[in-house]
């Protein structure tokens, strides 16, 4: 018995009801490989793969992929939006106050939505977004090195 192969990026796009284009395939694969990328970094990497693509087309594709649940938009307060391919598991993030680096943090406690609200005000809660703020190891080391 052989294991079923994972769907191709094009098949995932079709399965989400999206039109398959070279730009969307390259964009989804770039986001999934890149961690927490900003729009400019995504656009640059997509251009490296397929040639010219406008920034507007990247924004539109990111919006469509986010709406389809294939990409997650992360927007820490005071920071530009970043996009990641890790979706569906309700994980959280830690953000460096100094350089803006973003890293994933698994669920804080229990099962999704990870945190139980002290008062849900009648809402049916299906997700919790937690952002931890601090200083990344590289910035901490740099700060210590620069101290007198």
Q: What is the CATH number of domain 1-87?
A: 1.10.10.10
ω into residue 113 within 30 of 0, thus cis? yes
Which residue is listed with tokens 């990328």?
37
Question: Residue 30: its pLDDT value, please?
Answer: 96
The 8-class DSSP code of residue 7 comes to P
First to last CA, the chain: 65
In sequence order, what are the residues at sequence separation of 6 or more whose Cβ sits closer than 8 angstroms to the Cβ of residue 52? Answer: none
Question: What is the arrangement of strands in the sheet containing 37-38, beginning at the earlier edge strand?
Answer: 37-38, 82-84, 72-74
Q: Output the six-digit token pair for 104.
A: 């994933």
**For residue 84, what pLDDT is reported?**
94
Stretches where the chain sits below pLDDT 50 are none
Domain range annotation of the chain = 1-87, 88-148
The CATH class given to the 88-148 domain equals alpha beta
């Amino acid at each position: 018995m052989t294991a079923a192969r994972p769907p191709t990026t094009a098949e995932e796009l079709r399965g989400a009801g999206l039109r398959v284009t070279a730009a969307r395939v390259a964009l989804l694969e770039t986001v999934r490989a890149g961690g927490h990328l900003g729009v400019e970094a995504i656009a640059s990497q997509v251009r490296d793969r397929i040639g010219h693509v406008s920034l507007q087309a990247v924004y539109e594709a990111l919006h469509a992929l986010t709406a389809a649940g294939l990409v997650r938009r992360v927007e820490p307060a005071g920071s530009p939006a970043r996009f990641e391919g890790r979706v569906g598991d309700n994980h959280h993030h830690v953000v460096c106050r100094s350089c803006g680096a973003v890293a994933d943090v698994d669920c804080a406690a229990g099962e999704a939505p990870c945190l139980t609200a002290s008062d849900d005000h009648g809402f049916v809660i299906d997700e919790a977004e937690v952002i931890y703020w601090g200083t990344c190891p590289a910035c901490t080391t740099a700060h210590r090195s620069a101290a007198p």
